[in-house]
Amino acid sequence: QGHSFLSSSDGTTLNNALSALGNVAEISGERQNFADKSNGASIFLGELNLARPNFDFFSSVAEKFRQLDSASKYIKHTSLSYSVAKKQIVIIKGDGNIVCRDCSNTVFSVGCVVEKNGSLETASERRCSTLSEENFWQDDTPLAIAEKVFNRAILMLDALPCPAGVMNVILDGRAGGTIIHEACGHGLEADIIEKESSVFAGKLGERVAPDYVTMIDDPTIDGAFGSFDFDDEGTKAKKTVLIENGVLKSYMTDISTSLLYGYDLTGNGRRQSYKYLPIPRMSNTFLAPGSTSLEEMLQLAKNGLYVVKMGGGEVDATSGNFVFNVTEGYLIENGKITKPVKGATLTGNGPKSLMQIKALGNSMTLDPGYCGKNGQTAYVTDGQPTILIENMTVGGSEL
């Protein structure tokens, strides 16, 4: 049986931290003189030099919404949020070695509520990155994101009720990888494998998906929201292939689960802050791209639902059963994307859905977000190419 011991200090010097670590080491029976191994390291790596974020674009985005509002009269509420953060983390490992890292996070989000004839629709978009502010705006501008959100909300106002039934579903890469993260990813974290009887328990080396499906967790992707160079236990980050050509290859581990259960150490020990114990967590988790174009998928699907954006939902990590809301979807009719629909939900089982994947697109989209587990929040990215899944259960507002 393994035990974990946690110590913290309000001091801002390395000696304070080393003293706290020495105390907890003594409690655990591992007496060490950590100060001898510090080699004069400083608790701080230098000045953070974090300038006040540039909020100049707020007025232009607000004006953009006013222009749209004067034309449409449908906008009832808008919201904007922008934050820039930088922190330094010092990790003193159990052997006394010290790992230091700088972390930058930039987050922009925009949302709006629209109303027409008593019907309300909402839309939102978020951009998150570990890039510094000066490197953040690479692909989209705040105005482009705001207009995209408005157009999605307006589109859904006039959308038809979604039919219900079992049908082929194409998940666009922009849908965000929610199913991969929630219904499959958590079930591959080693603590859930061992303590909560995940459906993936005991299946290392077994086929869990078609041979063209590969699932990866990779914290080394430059700028991605779930990226880091060392995890919160000081283990160097590395790419971990979880499922390779349909075969389950690895679970995600921290030091504790690696030692207790004999799994390879993958460097996925993460925590919200120094006040929490590290636990196995995803970083940037995604399905690798395939080779099928959207046009080919539409012909394969014939009829069904095309999902561009997913919303919230519920999932049982132990079984993989899920229900997710669709915030932007369209009917597929005779191999063509046709009418927008609303009120759709996707119901199914993560492991079963992996086996139902019939085609993967030739490019991948990464979608950032926040993941909650055991009362802790972690920055993550979910990703996927466009995916064709056969015979999914779609709940709708039209029977």
Q: How high is the pLDDT of residue 48?
A: 57
Alpha-carbon separation of residue 198 from 72, 275, 351, 395 (angstroms): 49, 27, 10, 26
For 293-302, the pLDDT digits (tens) are 999 999 999 9
pLDDT band at residue 133 under the 50/70/90 scheme = confident
202: left (phi over 0), alpha (psi -120 to 50) or beta: left
Q: How high is the pLDDT of residue 17?
A: 67
In contact, 283 and 352? CB cutoff 8 Å: no
Rg (CA), the chain: 23
In contact, 198 and 319? CB cutoff 8 Å: no
Q: How high is the pLDDT of residue 4?
A: 67
pLDDT greater at residue 241 or residue 65 = 241
- Provide the H-helix boundaries in the chain: 14-28, 57-72, 142-157, 178, 190-195, 255-261, 294-301, 350-355
For 163-186, the pLDDT digits (tens) are 999 999 999 998 877 788 888 899
Separation of alpha carbons 385 and 363, rounded Å: 5
pLDDT band at residue 234 under the 50/70/90 scheme = very high
Cross-strand pairs, 58:
none
Separation of alpha carbons 366 and 67, rounded Å: 31
- Cα distance between the two ends of the chain: 53
In contact, 302 and 335? CB cutoff 8 Å: yes
Alpha-carbon separation of residue 2 from 95, 253, 258, 259, 270 (angstroms): 17, 15, 11, 9, 18
pTM of the complete model = 0.88
Nearest to 262 by CA among 251, 248, 273, 270: 251
Q: Which of 34-38, 73-77, 357-361 has the lowest mean pLDDT?
A: 34-38
Nearest to 267 by CA among 240, 295, 296: 240
Render 272-289 in DSSP notation, one character per residue.
SSTTS--EE--SEEEEPP
The set of residues, in sequence order, having a beta carbon less than 8 Å from that of 251 and lying 6+ positions away, is 188, 189, 190, 193, 200, 204, 242, 257, 263, 266, 280
The β-bridge relationship of strands 304-315 and 165-171 is parallel
Separation of alpha carbons 102 and 41, rounded Å: 15
Cross-strand pairs, 80:
110
pLDDT band at residue 41 under the 50/70/90 scheme = very low
For 216, the token pair is 């990866």
Chain-centre distance for alpha carbon 263: 24
pLDDT band at residue 377 under the 50/70/90 scheme = very high
Q: How high is the pLDDT of residue 177?
A: 77
Compute the average pLDDT of residues 33-52: 54
Residues of the chain above pLDDT 90, percent: 53
Alpha-carbon separation of residue 51 from 46, 47, 84, 225 (angstroms): 15, 12, 9, 21
For 263-321, the pLDDT digits (tens) are 999 999 999 988 888 999 999 999 999 999 999 999 999 999 999 998 877 888 778 88
Largest CA distance in the chain: 72
pLDDT at 37 over 60: no
Q: How high is the pLDDT of residue 274?
A: 81
Q: How high is the pLDDT of residue 52?
A: 64
**CA 199, 203, 207 angle in degrees (round to 5)?**
105
| Residue whose entry in the numeric block shows the structure tokens 């954006």 | 309
The set of residues, in sequence order, having a beta carbon less than 8 Å from that of 26 and lying 6+ positions away, is none
Burial class of residue 155 (count of CB atoms within 10 Å of its CB; 0-12, 13-18, 19+): middle
